[in-house]
A and B are shown apart, each in its own frame.
Chain A
Amino acid sequence: MDLIQISPAQNATGKKYWRSLNELSGTPAFSQWVENEFPGGAEILDPNSRRTMLKLMAASFGMAGLVACRRPDEKILPVSKSAEDVIPGKPMFYATAFVNRGVANGIHVEVHDGRPTKVEGNPMHPNSQGAASALAQASVLSVYDPDRARTVHEGANPTNWAAYDKAVAGLVAGFGAGTGLRILSERTSSPTLLSVKAELLKKYPEAKWAEYDSLDGGHAIAGAEMVFGQRLQPVYHFDRADVILSLDDDFMGEDAASVEATKQFSKKRKVSKPGEPMNRLYLVESRFSITGAMADHRMRIKSGEVLQFTSDLAVEVGAKSSLKVLKPGDATQKWLAAVARDLKANAGKCLVTAGPMQSAQVHALAFLINHTLGNIGTTVTFVKPIFEPAQSIQELAKEIGAGSVKTLVILGGNPAYTAPAELNFASAIAKVPASIYLGAEMDETAAAAKWHLPMTHAMEAWGDARSSDGSATIMQPQIAPLYGGRSAIEVAAQLLDGKPKKGYALVQGYWKSVLPAADADRIWRKGIHDGVVPGSTFAEVKATVNAKAIPEVAAAALSGTELVFLSSNLGDGRFANNAWMQEVPEAMTKLTWDNAAHISPAMARELKVETGGMVKITLGSRSIELPALVTPGQAEGSVALQLGYGRKKIGRVGEGIGVNVGELRTSDGWAFASGASVTAVAGSRELAITQEHHSMREPDMPGRKGEMRPVVREGSLEEYKAHPHFAPEVDHAEEMFDLQGVHDYSKGYQWGMAIDLNLCTGCNACLVACNAENNIPVVGQDQIRRGREMHWIRLDRYYTGTEEDPQAVMQPLGCQQCEAAPCENVCPVAATVHSPEGLNDMAYNRCVGTRYCANNCPYKVRRFNYLDWHKHITPVAEMVHNPDVSVRMRGIMEKCTYCVQRIQEKRIAAKVDGRRPIRDGEIVTACQQTCPTDAIVFGNINDPASAVAKAKAEPRDYTLLKEINTKPRTSFLARLRNPNPELKA
């Protein structure tokens, strides 16, 4: 018995991994497997061969300590902070990239004995600068996805690579000039893949290369083409802008390069001393995004009205002379005028950005406005695009419909699920005589294509990609392919002559061919090591503006309800089988394991629905039903729908979770569509939302108006200047005595943390980083509904202001490590005790699980293992666990430890290093490491020179619930906003 025999069956029957904990336990095969004496990792990895298993077992005896290693064959280079040679038990860090919609985010991958376990930001990468997004953090779990495609399939029949190689050799022989050959790729910036593309198109001149990305239509480049007459890629420099206007651009949330943007934005957002300046962010959008939560002024309008808004703004700033299209005298106009004045007052150091879902025209107008304000060259520069023009998926579908496509090779991306609905792409694929799909999962496209090839994970294969400014990262594998997959580069290159290719040779071959020959080897090595190829950044392109090329904007009234299609925690759906991302609460709504129709409170009243009530959304002839989610701050008449859910084929985690809103999405209404109708229908669904109360204000009750609770404290920049201590002053100043005596914490290392609420965007990166670092279990939808989520750090989101036009604040809350911890004195078995360094330690082995500590925690940060959350983890998925952190059994309490394992690691390192003191900044907690805003500072509070001591000395530093005398080691720096005085009233 091995797991392989179960898993494909589960693929077939569509078992849901976490929805019910009893599901899997019911299978006798699984129980038997669990009881099996030998874990049988070899069997799992190779489904075919008992002999291979025996070989591997023999090898394991021979190689003793090295059995778990799956290091790639080729030479890969660890970064220098790791040990020079392999020290068992010591992790290695490899620089590579997480590619999001074709854009590289520089990362380090932590590898324990050949297993990637954790993603960290790469501090050497010019764009990510040490930060990583939630998706990048979660990508490591996808390596061990138990439902990944394991073998080549021809139709429904499993076969092997040799069969494919034979078949493709036959196909290639018949390609001729490439007539009828079409390749559909994900949007790619990979220099190697693009060079393979060029070779292919050279060899097969009649062939065409199409690209499709579900979340980015390349409108920015098209907009640049409109206004500059050439395809250019904008590179935004938020760190140079004092005033920013975002036109429906969630640049800190859903944008492919959000980490980079957030990092830059936070540099201008950071205020240390009262009187220091801070940037100002205006934002126009329909749904409430996390960038909207950061905004100083937010205007909610339909996404479809952003074009008119932008056009009027262009007139207002003097970029265009045409007439205004918005109604004069309404609130939007007044707001627009004030914003325009502020932008003009900051000409040259302001920035107008447009979102990827906005049209090329909006982008063109934004570039024009930036040009007029003198921002081009300062806050926005242009470079040669990292993406190349390609055939659109619509044209490809048309050709397939016309029968002119003979061979279709799909390189990832699952177009059968993501393509516009009217293309019926799944059936289009079926029409092609020879269709080959390279995909990591057994997904919708795999079911439609004739050949399905298992794709390697980015951590399993050689590759490369560029960041928006052109900086290239060579992606090195950290683990040999678990299921023997191939990368897009390898599959594409095989089409040249029909012979299998090695990714390493292709990537190295490309780079050696473009790097200066004398220095190629050194640059190649340095590029791999640092995670960025020296000198690969594109040069700035100066271009002349042709304002006339932008079509005039008409005052078009939008009819009906608007639908806006958005990215989600699952990206375009590719993370649907990633349990971490399913369980991450959506940044604003805190919804997990589901998607919903985000509607405004007014629309909810009109439809008489509440959160969870089902609504039917009809657009043209298409309609879907999904639960409503009443979302404060949502634009009136606009419904936000998140893509990536409702997967029909993906695996046990993601199948059947949520609703596929893509069924309403056509090429015409690809980003947003007007003219929809929404009606309430019978039924409701209990949504798994982790935060039920949305305000810091207590609910009103008979005879009592709810009071505000001083949880997240906020002031304006002016207020901070005038009353620097506005935040801590909320608390009563009196000192309280301690009943049980006070420990002397004045000596040695005393760990503490300061979190700058003014910087935190609530992007969830810290939460997922903590998941990976601390082996935090996934509990599933049903258990979240029961209030049993396990995240050690949570991001509390509170709305302030009115229900219609609220502002929002975020607060990351992990264990506060109270010096006088209420949890400690109530534990009968002393399982949670204080360390001399001020940590509230959990002794898991000692815990009997009375849960008294959780009750007595005023911050409610303790997490209890109500059930055995690890019961259904497959041995392959177990490989993602961090060996430095114990996996907790059921029945015990756990919580944030300040990453005590990292503290100990550095303590040992310092000791080995000649008993030197631990340097400030040497210990970096997982949340802190990945934070794109550097909002989290950790260190020794006893050292007045440490960053954390300095942060805590800032006047806006406060602790939560000071009046109950818990003396938390984590403190918060109050939120600031920088409102425009003109708009204040």
Chain B
Amino acid sequence: MATTTATLPSITKPLAQELNPSLVTGNLSYHEVTDQVCEIVEGKVHRNWYIGFAISFTIFLMMVGMLGYQLFTGVGVWGNNAPVAWAWDITNFVFWIGIGHAGTLISAVLFLFRQKWRTSINRAAEAMTLFAVACAAIYPVMHTGRPWRTYWLFPVPNLDLNMWQNFRSPLMWDVFAISTYGSVSAVFWYMGLIPDLATLRDRAAVAGDKTRALLYGIFSLGWRFSARHWTNYEKMYLLLAAISTPLVLSVHSIVSFDFATSVIPGWHTTIFPPYFVAGAVFSGFAMVQTLMLVTRWALGLENLITPKHLDNMNKIILATGMIVGYAYATEFFIAWYSANQYERFVFFNRAFGPYWWAYAIMVSCNVLSPQIFWYKPFRTNVMVTFVMSIFVNIGMWFERFVIIASSLHRDFMPSSWGYFKPSYVDICTFIGTFGFFMTLFLLFLRFIPCIALSEVKGAMAAQAHLPGHDPVKGTTPVHAGGHH
């Protein structure tokens, strides 16, 4: 891991640091790491945070207003119609669910594969997962005609109609998949938080802030940094990682069943589960990049989120981007190879029909643009990575839109073909979900250590054993993953 690329010119100080492939730079001690991360929570709130929060919260309020208007008026305030009965609603739902995937992948799968570089980003990525699931969850509830009845989708006893749900419906599977995903992710995230919350508690106690000490004390569940606690924690963490790992595959597979089990050409495809999972990881990593690069800049975490992280994540983006591209190609090939008239038409219509522009955006953002990551200097460049992450986010949103709207708008009966145009409520609600997401994310940054202290320290310890690195300064107990 620890190779150097000293030939590249150093332009600015952060960039020079980025070119150092270490996972933690700046030769920090464990204590300095703790200080740097806890400072964000404990210190004076930065002006930028207030500005960001004000903007995000305003946008969030707009979403609340839009949803309220919709709740009292009807789904008709959106642009959905017949034949396009799902449009931006389900597009946004799949988009947000997909975004969450990177969090689980980073925290669980990469943990199991002992990918140490995950440590400085996993906390935020997991938080992102939770918040993305929260954003996504808005849509399945609010897209229904009668949101006040959506509890009927849960197998809870109700006196209205004593009947079971329809377990044949992929939407039912969605309910279980997403609620499982949401709850497991939340537990996993909270588990990982406990030692760090305890650190905050202890630091608050030392500083004499009793309220903070009490609150963090409650949430750290009596953590005492004892070896026994660490042992149990490690085992539990490993178990939860193992439980979460299949969810990375299952959730988006099941979301893809919403489409794959239908009869609609362009939806009715066996390729969807792996295609959706790859797309989800792709979009999730892009979103992690977007968020982390902003956080890194805003909070000065250049030493903890380094070019090595960008490099690794961009490699995953490149790989999953190509899987997605391969899926696009396969769809076309199979449409042609199937000799099925409807199937052929729907794919031609995607590329050349009224929604050709959406398809063009999708392909250029998802397949063409990530190709620049074959070149390492691009992979490690902050600005390039940031711009690319935005591209991928846009491209993946359009992928869902293309799948949903372009398949629906011209299906079997030519008499019923139509076109979907979003209403302003569609647009404002979607923008509003970003406000919701950012509000939650900013609250997270403010109140919870955004970098997993114990895990980073473990990575530092591992790094310290590598040639060319100084041993870590200080004596704070280390999360010693990998040592036993």
A residues apposed to B, CB below 8 Å: 691-693, 695-699, 701-704, 706-707, 709, 711, 740, 783, 786-789, 794, 796-798, 811, 813, 822, 824-830, 845-852, 854-856, 858-860, 862-868, 889-893, 961, 964, 966
Contact = CB atoms under 8 A, between A and B. Distances in A.
Contact of A848 (B153, B172, B408, B410): B153
Contacts of A830: 163-166
Contact of A860 (B77, B145, B149, B411): B411
Classify the secondary structure of A's interface with B. Answer: loop
Nearest to A963: B340
A851 B86 contact: yes
7 contacts: A693-B410, A701-B353, A709-B414, A822-B263, A829-B152, A830-B166, A847-B146
B412 A891 contact: no
A847 B414 CA distance: 28
A964 B172 CA distance: 23
A858 B163 contact: no
A469 B418 CA distance: 46
A891 B165 contact: no
Interface in B306-363: 341, 344-345, 348-349, 351-353
A794 B81 CA distance: 16
A788 B81 contact: yes
Contact of B415 (A788, A798, A829, A966): A798
Contacts of B353: 699, 701
B412 to A, nearest CB: 4
Given A786-B81, A788-B82, A891-B145, A829 B414 contact: no
B218 to A, nearest CB: 38
Contact of A796 (B171, B264, B413): B413
A54 B111 CA distance: 80
Interface stretch (B23-31, B68-76, B220-228, B365-373): B68-76
Interface in B235-290: 258, 261-264
A891 B146 contact: yes
A868 B412 contact: no
Contacts of A691: 415-416
A867 B76 contact: yes
Contacts of A794: 415
Contact of B413 (A827, A859, A862): A859
Given A850-B145, A856-B262, A867-B74, 20 more contacts: A693-B410, A693-B417, A701-B348, A702-B352, A704-B348, A711-B413, A740-B168, A783-B76, A787-B83, A848-B150, A851-B85, A851-B144, A852-B169, A854-B82, A856-B263, A866-B76, A891-B145, A892-B146, A964-B263, A966-B263
A846 B446 CA distance: 44
Contacts, number: 181
Contacts of B416: 691, 796, 859-860
A828 B169 contact: yes
A864 B82 contact: yes
B390 interface: no
A587 B77 CA distance: 30
B118 interface: no
A698 B413 CA distance: 10
B143 interface: yes
B161 interface: yes
Contact of B86 (A696, A701, A855): A855
B412 A858 contact: yes
B431 to A, nearest CB: 22
Contacts of A893: 145
A846 B85 contact: no
B80 interface: yes
Given A740-B168, A845-B161, A891-B145, A867 B73 contact: yes
Contacts of A786: 79, 81
A826 B79 contact: no
A186 to B, nearest CB: 37
B171 to A, nearest CB: 4
A707 B76 CA distance: 34
- Residue in B166, B258, B411, B417 whose Cβ sees the most chain A Cβ within 10 Å: B166
B170 interface: yes
B165 A704 contact: no
B428 interface: no
Nearest to B161: A846
B175 interface: yes
B112 to A, nearest CB: 33
B356 to A, nearest CB: 9
Contact of A825 (B75, B149, B169): B169
A316 B351 CA distance: 56
A551 B413 CA distance: 52
Q: Size range of the interface on B?
A: 35 or more
A856 B412 contact: no
Interface string B163-207: 111101111100100000000000000000000000000000000
A854 B144 CA distance: 13
Contacts of B349: 701
A692 B146 CA distance: 30
- Residue in A691, A783, A826 whose Cβ sees the most chain B Cβ within 10 Å: A826
Contact of A892 (B145, B169, B412): B145
Contacts of A866: 74-76, 80-81, 145
Interface string B414-436: 11111100000000000000000
**Closest CB pairs A-B (n = 4):** A849-B145, A891-B145, A866-B76, A787-B81
A828 B352 contact: no
B352 A701 contact: yes
Contacts of A822: 262-263
A864 B161 contact: no
A699 B346 CA distance: 11
Contacts of A867: 73-74, 76-77
Given A704-B348, A829-B152, A892-B145, A855 B262 contact: yes
A868 B145 CA distance: 11
A740 B86 CA distance: 26
Contacts of B74: 865-868, 890-891
Contacts of A892: 145-146
B85 A864 contact: yes
Given A848-B144, A855-B262, A860 B166 contact: no
Contact of A856 (B82, B84, B175, B264): B264
Contacts of A966: 263
Contacts of B82: 787-789, 854, 860, 862-864
A828 B172 contact: yes
A786 B85 CA distance: 11
A865 B82 CA distance: 11
A826 B261 contact: yes
Contacts of A829: 152-153, 165-166
A691 B83 CA distance: 11
A829 B163 CA distance: 9
A704 B344 contact: yes
A417 B426 CA distance: 43
B412 A859 contact: yes
Interface string B8-26: 0000000000000000000
Given A822-B263, A858-B412, A891 B144 contact: yes
Nearest to A699: B353
Contacts of B164: 830
Nearest to B408: A855
Nearest to B414: A693
B166 A825 contact: yes
Nearest to A860: B416
Contacts of B413: 711, 796, 813, 858-860
Nearest to B268: A964
Nearest to A858: B412
A868 B146 CA distance: 12
Interface in B73-121: 73-77, 79-86
A853 to B, nearest CB: 9
Contact of A828 (B75, B79, B145, B171): B171
Contacts of A854: 82-83, 85
Contact of A855 (B73, B85, B152, B168): B85
